[in-house]
Amino acid sequence: MKSLIKIPKDAELPLIGLVQIGIIDRGTNLLQLRPTSICNLNCIFCSTDAGKFSKYHVTEYMVEKDYFIDWLKEVIKFKGRIHAFLDSVGEIFTHPKILDIISEISQLDGVESVAIETNGSLLDEEKIDELEELKLSRINLSLHALDEELNKKLVGCEEYSTERMIELIRYIAKSKIDLTLTPVWVPGLNDEEIPKIIEFAKAEIKNKKFPILGIQKYEAHKFGRKPKGVKPISWFKFFKKLEEWEKRFGVKLRLSPLDFGIFKTKPLPVAFEVGEKVNVEIRARGWMANEMIGVARERSITVVNCNESLGKILKVKILRNSDNIYMARK
């Protein structure tokens, strides 16, 4: 049974340092914003093993709105003008205050645009209307097939309705919000569906600025889900196939960060060097079993092979510091 950690306004858990929750700066003008780790689906190819049938994760996280906004304001002070991209290791609409979060982010000085990543299953026309009023710039929506039964299999949910999703896609397409469909191509499972999605997107979506499609490559991550019989293809073969589909359908599929207005900027300063030994205070349970979250220098650190009690001070050795995401061991 997974536990839920709610991170309130008076929490002493920094929102920089973790991959599953908080703010991620990868050294560009785009910030990944993750106020929740919860997912309502159980996709059989999920790279983060999200959902209630997760094999590896023992904890979920949800950040209180004001605490999240306060941290974002501080990051923007350092970064300057940014694009805000709300995504999740799960599904952002599992956060009960997500519309309020989007509203407040859109009003912050320094935020040029706000976009979201969603599986779409928790959307409805009322939410889409509100997102349009908030001047949301783009919705990335992960539709993986047009076939009803195959879609249910891919997302691991019998209640999922492809027919309903198509209705919502058409509704978004008529709004002022740009829509990018982001199917994951899972070789051997939805090969025939990707061309159908491309044709569907061409017929239904008329964006003002952003690409209508962002096809994703299936990757077999260590702690992700691996459908039986599915083997990831090489990046060379993936881009070769995208090139083939581009010529066949006359639509751009090989994308770059510049297609979304993303470019390199100064990253947040690195707080710890790999190999450095640091004293941390344990303040929360980790995302996986035998992990805890330690805090030092205004950063959160995932400490592996650790089951120490909350409040414990211990010395750790930093194993990772890329993108201001920190991992360590005792």
273-330 pLDDT, tens digit each: 999 999 999 999 999 999 999 999 999 999 999 999 999 999 999 999 999 999 999 9
Q: Give me the sign of the Cα torsion angle 7, 9, 11, 13.
A: positive
215 Cβ partners below 8 Å, 6+ apart?
182, 183, 185, 194, 242, 253
Domain CATH number, residue 227: 3.20.20.70
Separation between Cα atoms, residue 100 and residue 107, nearest integer Å: 11
Encode pLDDT of 10-56 as tens digits.
888 999 999 999 999 999 999 999 999 999 999 999 999 999 889 99
303 and 213 fall within a common domain: no
Q: Is residue 85 part of a domain?
A: yes
Residue 9 banded pLDDT, cuts 50, 70, 90:
confident
- Which amino acid belongs to residue 219? E
Neighbour order of strands in the sheet with 178-181: 22-25, 30-34, 82-86, 111-118, 138-141, 178-181
Statement: the pTM of the whole predicted model exceeds 0.85: yes
Say if 265 falls within a structural domain: no
Question: Which residues neighbour 96 within 8 Å (Cβ) at sequence distance 6 or greater?
Answer: none
- CATH for 287: 2.40.50.140
User: Which of the listed residues 227, 260, 293 is the one where a domain comes to its end?
Assistant: 260
Residue 101 lies in a domain: yes
- The answer to whether 79 and 268 have CB atoms below 8 angstroms apart is yes
Q: Is 291 in the same domain as 248?
A: no
| pLDDT at 124 > cutoff 90 | yes
Same domain, 31 and 101: yes
| Three-class SS state of 213 | strand
269 domain residue, yes or no: no
Instruction: Show which of 211, 234, 260 is a domain's final residue.
Output: 260
Quickly state the pLDDT bin for 2 (edges 50, 70, 90): confident
Quote the number of domains for the chain. Answer: 2
Taking Cα atoms as reference points, which of 125, 148, 124, 138 lies closest to residue 181? 138
By DSSP bridging, strand 82-86 and strand 59-63 are unpaired
Domain of 319 in residue numbering reads as 277-329
Indicate if 221 and 82 belong to the same structural domain: yes
| Residues 245, 286 within the same domain | no
Mean of pLDDT values over 181-207: 98
Mean pLDDT calculated for residue range 60-89: 97
* Angle subtended at Cα 48 by Cα 43 and Cα 51, rounded to the nearest 5 degrees: 50
Does 1 have pLDDT greater than 70? no
Same domain, 284 and 245: no
Q: 178 and 299, same structural domain?
A: no
Residue 181 included in any domain: yes
Question: pLDDT at residue 81 above 80?
Answer: yes
217 is a domain residue: yes
Q: What is the pLDDT of residue 7?
A: 95
Please compute, for residue 76, the number of CA atoms within 13 A of its CA located in the half-sphere on the CB side: 19
> pLDDT > 90: what percent of the chain?
98
160 and 50 within one domain? yes
Same domain flag for 249 and 319: no
Band the pLDDT of 59: cuts 50, 70, 90. Answer: very high
User: Above pLDDT 70, what percent of the chain?
Assistant: 100
Backbone angles phi, psi at 218, to 5 degrees: -70, 130
In a domain, 272, yes or no: no
